[in-house]
Amino acid sequence: MIMRVISPRLRFWIYFLIELLALPLMVLYFYIGISPDDSTFDVICLFFLIALQLFVALFPLLIEKYDFGAEWFHLDASGVTYQSRKATYHLDWAQVQHIMLSPDRTGNTTKNSFICFYAEELPRWLPMRSDYTPTAFGLQYRKGLPEAIGQYCSKEIYNLDAIERRC
C-alpha cells in the first residue's frame, strides 16, 4: 500500500486556503483591466499582479513537487518505507520494535498525530517530520490505517485508543 505521509484531508484544506488567497488577486485583475490611456507604470503593475496571481494559483503544484506532497510511505509485507526527495528509510517488520501514535506539535493526540514506527528500544517523541531518522519515522493518522498495519504486523499500536475515542 502506497500513501502520502500527510493525509489527503489536511492537504485539501491547505490547498483550498492557498487558492482563496489567489481569488482577490484575480478579482483585482479583472477590475483593473487595461485601458488605452494607461501609463507604462500601470501596465507594469498589472503584469506584476497577473504574475503574482499565477504564482499563488500554481503554488500547490510546487508544494506537491518539492515539499510535503513529495513524501511517500510504503506499507507492504517486506516492511515500512518512508521516502522523500532527500532520504529513503526502510524498516523490515522484524526490525520494528514499537509502533506508537505520537502526539502532534502541541502535545495533543488529534487527527493530526502521526503513527510512528521505531527500531529503537525507547521510542521518542517525533513532533515534526524533520526529526525522522532511519530508525524512527511515521505517517499521519487516518481511518483504516491501523487495520492496514494489522495485516502485516501483529504489534500493538500504543496510544491508539486516545484517538479512536475522539473520532
Q: Report the pLDDT value the prediction gives residue 24, as an integer from 0 to 100.
A: 83
Q: Report the pLDDT value the prediction gives residue 118, as an integer from 0 to 100.
A: 92
* 97-149 confidence digits (pLDDT tens): 999 988 877 778 888 888 989 998 888 777 677 778 899 998 888 888 889 99
pLDDT band at 77 (very low <50, low <70, confident <90, very high): very high
Count of CB atoms situated within 10 Å of the CB of 47: 11
Type of residue found at 149: I
Domain residue extents for the chain: 2-68, 75-164
Burial 83-93 (b: 16+ CB within 10 A, else e): bbeeeebebeb
Asked if the model's pLDDT at residue 26 lies above 60, the reply is yes
Does the CA dihedral 103-105-107-112 come out positive or negative? negative
Half-sphere exposure of 148 (CA within 13 A, CB side): 16
Beta bridge partners of 83: 72, 88
Type of residue found at 47: F
Q: Are the CB atoms for 100 and 122 separated by under 8 Å?
A: no
Q: Which residues contact 83 (CB under 8 A, 6 or more apart)?
A: 71, 72, 73, 74, 89
What is the reported pTM? 0.75
Q: Report the pLDDT value the prediction gives residue 71, as an integer from 0 to 100.
A: 85
Asked if the model's pLDDT at residue 81 lies above 90, the reply is yes
* 41-66 confidence digits (pLDDT tens): 877 888 888 888 888 888 888 888 88
Q: Report the pLDDT value the prediction gives residue 76, as an integer from 0 to 100.
A: 92
